[in-house]
Amino acid sequence: MTFARLRERGERALMPYFTAGDPSLAETRRLVMAAERAGADVVELGVPFSDPIADGPVVQRAGTRALAAGASLPRVLELVAGLRADGLKLPIALMTYYNPVLAFGLKSFTRTALDAGADGVIVPDLPYEEADPLREEAEPAGLDLVQFVAPTSTPARVKVIARLSRGFIYVVSVLGITGERRQLPPELDAQIRTLRLVTTKPVCVGFGVSTPEQVAAVGKLADGVIVGSAIVRLIERHTGDPALIDEVAKFIAALKAPLRIQT
């Protein structure tokens, strides 16, 4: 287990997010391989979708560019297989909305994702009350269905989510959509402490985390830190620049640095 191995070393996990297909599927492949070399521990690979209700403007723009370039769920699964063929060892969590999965077919999606080399799936528009059909396909096959805990989740709801989530529990640090924030919410500490009372599963925090300083603060509380919009914005800024891969790799290395030793 990635999280257990890191904890034994006194580390926390860095999970960078990439929109698959932005700026191209080939470039995403290079970016993910560079992220592994730069110190990433898990990769969250976003499947672009036409109605991304949980995504902020930065990730929405990336999804629009990726769709225009021909990215789709089948092609993203081909990308995962290509990354495994390249020798990528990191766990891959697919972030997708439910519509593409439903259209693909739940059984077919699960089988194809696992065959390609995916380890888990995150579906932000699929609450646990409606997730049984996908869970019944994914869980026995070994594809982790990751569930969200939000700041507004009630204690009863947190208990159920903690029981059902596989791989890790995704803690949404702020209300609203993804995007960079100037500061982390002061309630995050209490939110994670409450979750720790009902589960020993790994807890990873995303939404709003964008700087090495914020990563360091979250790393003192959680098992993993998810950074998305800041990376996607950097890719947007350097699209077409020969230094794209190096710039993203340097940023990921800077994000990972404060997570290597926790006291």
Q: Which residues are catalytic?
A: 44, 55
Rg from Cα positions in the chain? 17
Cα–Cα distance for residue pair 206/120, rounded to 1 Å: 16
Whose CA is closest to 28, among 74, 71, 89? 71
Cα–Cα distance for residue pair 81/198, rounded to 1 Å: 36
Phi and psi at 127, nearest 5°, equal -65, 155
Name the E strands within 154-200.
169-172
Cα–Cα distance for residue pair 63/31, rounded to 1 Å: 16
Phi and psi at 10, nearest 5°, equal 80, 20
* Residue 213 structure tokens: 């300083």
Where is 205: in which H helix or E strand?
Answer: strand 203-206
CB atoms < 10 A from the CB of 5, how many?
11
**Which burial class, exposed, middle or buried, applies to 239 when counting CB atoms under 10 A from its CB (0-12, 13-18, 19+)?**
middle
* Residue 189 structure tokens: 């500490």
